[in-house]
Chain A
């Protein structure tokens, strides 16, 4: 059973993720956070196996969470997959620089979403260090 955290301010995206996760073959448990603050709060009690992190969130955005997590001793090793609508080069670079493990652009098809989550989970299962920049973005097709 893999404990998965998702932080996203969009309710629809949260719903999509949950539905897609159900289609993933791996056994998982999902904890949802509406924004960065809630995520950090949740992290105080539970250490997940992986965090899927949106970037544009109110109160505390993805970058701030990422930075904070990577600077918190008990949280710094948690695999983090950025899950964002934007494919902006600067955002991606910043995410990589701040220590995210992978970057996924939110797909616009349900099938692709399922594939993306499955790929990410497969990759982050193994305790590896941060991949190099060229492998950072997961492209799902």
Chain B
């Protein structure tokens, strides 16, 4: 029973295997068709891209045209503004011109008025000038008259001066004469007085002379007697050897004798008047003695010592007494000092000699008196001469007085004439003053006229200036007008040109608009076509997706059953099978496994083309690590080492990149060299696209360059492109399992990422894969 069952099962299995192989073949065909359709899809996509680029380009062109239009319109608007500004400016300029013309006319009218006024003022000026001429003539005439008067005055003055001089001379002469007269009168009087005195004196002197003569005779007798007496007295005093001295009540020496002189050594005149007590060795004692005299009226034998000038001392005894005048008044003290020495005899001799001398002196004095009398007589003669002269002088004086009176009368007449001439002069002066006032007044009038003329001239000059200013302004205004007219014509010409240009630009604009409309229609048509293609593509994709899904899922389902059943057989029914049967079962299982792998790979491959392309810029490191992690059993089984130095970020679809690395690392592990444990190195680095020569690499893009290198069985270099082709395998399936889709999937994924993959290999040395994926 079980054998039948087995046979049927085996038959069924065989049938199923046939079916399976049919399906597989169908799958292959279907997949080829898929691939073809995908290529077609890609072609359409490429065409779409091109179409879109062209659309974009045309849109740009459209926008450029639109921008140009906007600019052209702005320029038009601006030029219109400019045109309007010019028109406004023209209006303003015209208004200004009209205004200036009015101003010009006003100025012209004002000028006419000014000119009339000028003419009038000129007439006035001429009238004033004529009046001035007349006034000047009158002035000159009056000046002549004035000069005549002045000349007459001068002459009169000169005559007056001359007469004044003469008058003064006369007056001076008169004064001198008067003075002289006065002086002479005085002199006369003096002389008269003197004469009288002289006469009196003469008379007196005559009397006196007579008396004198008599007295002289008497005197002579008396004097002789007196002389003799006095001489005698004096000689006695002088002859006295004793120093005699008279002292006043005040104590001063009033007289001394020769002996006193000798004993003191001081001359007589020096003694007299000095203090009596000075010449003693004991002045106080001398004074006391002197006082004693006054008290007691005398003192006798009062001892004192007289000191000579040269120091010689003479001891004396003084006897002194008071002496009075006739009335009994005390005149002084008479003191006699007795020299107690023996020099007295000599002193007496001397006294006698001196007496003789004094007599001689007396005689001389009598001679002198005689001479005086002679001179008196002479003087009397002179006085008589003077009296005679005085008489003649008086006669002359009388004559001069008559002359003086004549001159005085003449002077009176001259003064009257002078007075008259002064009146005349004053009259002339008054007339001159009046004439001068009139002149001054006329000068004022002349100056007023002159001032008025100056003002009138200034006003004329000012108005002329105004006139010239107006004329200049007019010229400028006219120039400006012509200039503005030129400008206006230029603007008009520019406007015409601008308008022509506008018309041309409008034509151009309309052409562009027409072209744009056509372009837009074409674009719209192309967009429709594109949308149709896109819709077709979407449908195709969806069909493919569902087909893929369904195919894989529905294919997987029976496959799983085959595997399950074959494993069941191996597990449960191994003992019921022969060795051959078991081997068949095992082979069934193997085939089923291969089919599973193929389906998985195909599914993976189709997922790479149909699934959503969700790109991320992300780190590759965790994905590589996950892949390596997924292989950890095989790694430990084969004692493999994997170095991963992946650090880059890249712009990837994460699950596809996972698939890529999974396939590459899986291959590296699968295609290991049995002689050595597998060693896989995965590197990555960032590079610039320019460093790499491949038409698919964009020069200015940054790429992540990943290398997967192994030390496995490698491949012959000539197959470096071959290995990426679908279902192409370099080894038979007994040696190394493989669907031949793995690297195709890898290449597809790399292309999905706009990257490039290159394979290098050496037989029995290993293989190396270089992948370039854009970083961003």
Q: Which residues of A contact B (CB under 8 A)?
A: 10, 12, 16, 19, 85-86, 106, 108-111, 113, 141
Contact = CB atoms under 8 A, between A and B. Distances in A.
Contacts of B560: 85, 106, 108
Given A12-B561, A12-B564, A16-B564, A110 B553 contact: no
A108 B568 contact: no
A109 B563 contact: yes
Contacts of B58: none
Contacts of A85: 553, 556-557, 560
Contacts of B571: 110-111
Given A108-B596, A141-B633, 11 more contacts: A12-B561, A12-B564, A12-B565, A19-B572, A85-B557, A85-B560, A86-B553, A108-B564, A110-B571, A110-B572, A111-B571
Nearest to A86: B553
> Top 10 nearest A-B pairs by Cβ distance?
A110-B567, A108-B563, A109-B567, A108-B560, A110-B568, A110-B571, A12-B561, A16-B564, A110-B564, A108-B564
A49 to B, nearest CB: 25
Interface in B542-561: 553, 556-557, 559-561
Interface of B: 553, 556-557, 559-561, 563-565, 567-568, 570-572, 592, 596, 633
30 contacts: A10-B557, A12-B561, A12-B564, A12-B565, A16-B564, A16-B568, A19-B568, A19-B572, A85-B556, A85-B560, A86-B553, A106-B560, A108-B559, A108-B560, A108-B563, A108-B564, A108-B567, A109-B563, A109-B564, A109-B567, A110-B564, A110-B567, A110-B568, A110-B570, A110-B571, A110-B572, A111-B567, A111-B571, A113-B564, A141-B633
Most buried by A among B556, B563, B567: B567
A85 B599 CA distance: 14
Contacts of A109: 563-564, 567
Nearest to B589: A109
Nearest to A113: B564
A86 B559 CA distance: 14
A19 B563 CA distance: 15
Nearest to B559: A108
Nearest to A89: B655
- From DSSP, what is the main secondary structure of chain B's interface residues? helix
Nearest to B557: A85
A61 to B, nearest CB: 14
A22 to B, nearest CB: 10
Nearest to B568: A110
Most buried by A among B556, B564, B592: B564
Contacts of B572: 19, 110
Contacts of B556: 85
Most buried by A among B559, B560, B565: B560
Contacts of B563: 108-109
Nearest to B565: A12
A95 to B, nearest CB: 17
A86 B603 CA distance: 13
Contacts of B570: 110
A20 B633 CA distance: 26
A141 B592 CA distance: 18
Most buried by A among B553, B568, B572: B568
Contacts of B633: 141
A19 to B, nearest CB: 7
Nearest to B593: A108
Nearest to A16: B564
Nearest to B563: A108
Nearest to A19: B568
A113 B572 CA distance: 14
A113 B559 CA distance: 15
A111 B569 CA distance: 11
Contacts of A106: 560
Contacts of B568: 16, 19, 110
A57 to B, nearest CB: 14
Nearest to A106: B560
B567 to A, nearest CB: 4
Contacts of B557: 10, 85
A19 B560 CA distance: 16
Nearest to B570: A110
A110 B573 CA distance: 12
Contacts of A12: 561, 564-565
A19 B633 CA distance: 29
A22 B553 CA distance: 28
B342 to A, nearest CB: 192
B472 to A, nearest CB: 100
A10 B553 CA distance: 14
A19 B571 CA distance: 11
A8 B570 CA distance: 24
A56 B564 CA distance: 19
Contacts of A10: 557
A110 B592 CA distance: 14
Contacts of A16: 564, 568
Most buried by B among A16, A19, A109: A109
A76 B358 CA distance: 207
A113 to B, nearest CB: 7
A108 B592 CA distance: 10
Nearest to B655: A89
Contacts of B565: 12
A16 B561 CA distance: 9
A110 B572 CA distance: 10
A108 B570 CA distance: 13
A83 B561 CA distance: 15
A106 B559 CA distance: 12
Contacts of A110: 564, 567-568, 570-572
Nearest to A56: B553
A10 B554 CA distance: 13
B290 to A, nearest CB: 177
Contacts of B559: 108
Nearest to B560: A108
A27 B570 CA distance: 25
A16 B560 CA distance: 11
A141 B634 CA distance: 13
A134 B440 CA distance: 141
Contacts of A113: 564
Contacts of B567: 108-111
Contacts of A108: 559-560, 563-564, 567, 592, 596
A69 B741 CA distance: 43
A123 to B, nearest CB: 22
Nearest to A23: B571
A111 B589 CA distance: 13
Contacts of A86: 553
B631 to A, nearest CB: 13
A17 to B, nearest CB: 10
Most buried by B among A86, A108, A113: A108
A12 B562 CA distance: 10
A40 to B, nearest CB: 25
Contacts of A19: 568, 572
A71 B68 CA distance: 68
